[in-house]
Amino acid sequence: MPRGEPPSRVPSPAGPSGGQDRATRPLRVAVVIARLEGGAGLQAFRGACAIDPDEIEITLITGSGDYLLAAAERAGMPTILEPSLCADLNPVHDRQALRRLTSLFRTRAFDVVHTHGAKAGAVGRLAARRAGVPRIVHTYHGFPFHEFQSAARRRAYVAIERRLGRITDMVLCTGTGVAAEAIRRGLAPPHCVRAIGVAVPGAGQDTVPDRRNPQARARARLALGLPADEVVMGAVGRLTYQKVPEDFIAALRALGPGVTGVWIGSGELARPVARLAGAVPGLRLVLPGERHDVADLLPALDVFVLPSRYEGLPTVIVEAMLAGVPVVATAVNAVTDLVSPGETGLLVPPRRPDLLAAAVRHLLSSPGDAARMAAEARTRVGDRYGEPALRAALMSAYAPGRPPGAGISSVEPARSAADGG
């Protein structure tokens, strides 16, 4: 696996065409993401794994990653680590990443470049355009702009995304809420926008650990060091500005000493959050850090909470619903695809920890209502968020109209959005 090797020096087997006739060889797709971690990284990885390698050859290109890099290596998936592709704005690294990705795309003769996230979406799409890649696809897992930014910054981000939309053949949006906003803001022509779901292992099956199962619940509590009779409000996600862990702590404080908080995940706010919680007398917050067995741990929770400022379509809400845990979340972006107020969970405005606490209190004090919503949520999620649905969406984006087993010559040449296609 050529991790860390300069892309301009990464060889392509038997030359740009790989020694195969272009009309019959599998489609070559580069999946590009700045950080192969978090919800976006997990979905990019699951999408790549869902594709039949005999039909489409996937190469993962990322600036950094955690356990997903090791998982890609174990799966035998070609992966290139390009350190200049960093998540933060950095003019020096960004110019270097643009140059190196352009060279890589030309050398490997990719048929499709599929970018994820704001940074990879900007640098990767520009590099693909410069390299003459026939088809460019981008996924919005959320947006780099939101209501908590200054108006000027938000306008600048929207303007950049609109310009990038002109060179993008297909825009995939995780959730209808994200797709609707992309269309409303003119980030791409409406006919180029598609709403997709997320892939969650076990969706539509009875193999997912369920909090109604006493054994699954006991194992989860033991793994988190929680007593069997403790009342637990939990969250899963990176400890970052987006996720607003300080509102989680404020809501936990408002609920009083009878409720324990659990936040599964790590991030740059881990230490500040621990200090903030430690400064509140009697407050109990468990921070187990990054875990790769989230599905096994969710049955430990009595209520799942997502206090985010902004989101895409959160994978962890699907996982919580499959685990039978009632959900309280902020009413942002595509969260409403999953949480229908009073039916599959409760919604509150972002940055209102008082209302967050009130919603949690309602579910804890009304177990019948909570169980009804959790059951309805599990039924509605069903198999909508399984691997087959994501595979079909990606195949349609990469090779529209291409019958299974056909060579790439059977695909009509893609026109960029700038040309009206």
Q: Which domains does the chain have, with CATH numbers?
A: 7-199+386-416 (3.40.50.2000), 214-381 (3.40.50.2000)
Q: What are phi and psi of 180, to 5 degrees?
A: -65, -40
Residue given tokens 């349609």 in the structure block: 396
pLDDT, one tens digit per residue, over 178-216 is 999 999 999 999 999 999 999 888 776 677 888 989 999
Predicted confidence at residue 124, as pLDDT, reads 97
Contacts of 375 (CB under 8 A, 6+ apart): 324
Structure-block tokens of residue 281: 């007398």
Residue 8 has pLDDT above 60, yes or no: no
Residue given tokens 């994501």 in the structure block: 390
Annotate 385-399 with DSSP letters as a single string. Answer: TSHHHHHHHHHHHHS
pTM of the entire structure?
A: 0.83
**Average pLDDT taken over every residue of the chain:** 88
CA atoms of 78 and 32, how far apart (whole Å): 12
Predicted confidence at residue 171, as pLDDT, reads 97
Structure-block tokens of residue 9: 């020096």
pLDDT, one tens digit per residue, over 346-378 is 999 999 999 999 999 999 999 999 999 999 999
Residue 275, by phi and psi: left (phi above 0), alpha (psi -120 to 50) or beta?
A: alpha
CA distances from 33 to 30, 71, 209 (A): 10, 16, 30
pLDDT, one tens digit per residue, over 244-296 is 999 999 999 999 999 999 999 999 999 999 999 999 999 999 999 999 899 99
CA atoms of 279 and 283, how far apart (whole Å): 9
CA atoms of 190 and 200, how far apart (whole Å): 28
For residue 353, how far is the Cα from the chain centroid? 24
231-236 vs 193-196, strand pairing mode: unpaired
Angle between helices 67-74 and 38-50 (to 10 degrees): 10
CA atoms of 47 and 52, how far apart (whole Å): 10
Predicted confidence at residue 142, as pLDDT, reads 87
